[in-house]
Amino acid sequence: MAPIAVGDSIPDGTLAYFDENDQLQSVSIHSLAAGKKVILFAVPGAFTPTCSMKHVPGFIEKADELKSKGVDEILCISVNDPFVMKAWAKTYPDNKHVKFLADGSASYTKALGLELDLSDKGLGTRSRRFALLVEDLKVKVANIEAGGEFTVSSAEDILKAL
């Protein structure tokens, strides 16, 4: 699959998460994004430094500002299982708006054409780092890193585009 780009419609896919009552839920991306303005950002791996200490906190801190600019949902996805995503989300107690979604089998990441082989780091197939601004399922901004580096995919970069 070619990587998703500006002007494309995002594919539908099912991701998993644990809700406030600790119940496992599946959610379709389209159900979260249709008719709305959403940010979809991805990290190569839960519990790894750039992801944990730079990428995610940026979106948590800027969440209120992003929402004030009309963003309805801020979705963080990673190729991890929902148990790991839940545990990782708990390390951000100040988080109010970012939803942590598990793409355990990498099927959604592959549907976006954004998978990355990190086997030599002990991670296997993961996602490239990226941030998309999606309006009513159409990609308006696609900030996609070549791999796991952190140059264009931050919350600030998306804010500039809003």
Partner 1 sequence: MALSVLLKQTGLTKSMVNSFRASRAYASVAVGTDLISAAPDVSLQKARSWDEGVSSKFAITPLKDIFKDKKVVIFGLPGAYTGVCSAQHVPSYKNNIDKFKAKGIDSVICVAVNDPYVMNGWAEKLQAKEAIEFYGDFDGSLHKSMDLMIDLSSALLGPRSHRWSAYVVDGKIKVFNLEKAPSEFEVSGGEVILGQI
Catalytic residues: 51
Under the criterion CB under 8 A, does residue 63 sit at the interface with partner 1? no
Taking the complex as a whole, the smallest distance from the CB of residue 162 to partner 1 amounts, in Å, to 31
Under the criterion CB under 8 A, does residue 49 sit at the interface with partner 1? yes
Under the criterion CB under 8 A, does residue 31 sit at the interface with partner 1? no
Cβ–Cβ < 8 Å for 139, 117: no
Tell me which long-range contacts 29-35 makes (C-beta under 8 A, separation of at least 24): 29/75, 29/108, 30/137, 32/73, 32/75, 32/99, 33/73, 33/134, 33/136, 33/137, 34/136, 34/137, 35/136
Under the criterion CB under 8 A, does residue 95 sit at the interface with partner 1? no
Under the criterion CB under 8 A, does residue 20 sit at the interface with partner 1? no
Cβ–Cβ < 8 Å for 145, 137: no
Return the range that interacts with partner 1 (CB under 8 A); candidates 21-29, 31-39, 62-70, 109-117.
Answer: 21-29
Interface residues toward partner 1, by CB under 8 A: 16, 22-24, 26, 45-49, 80-84, 86-88, 102, 104-105, 119-124
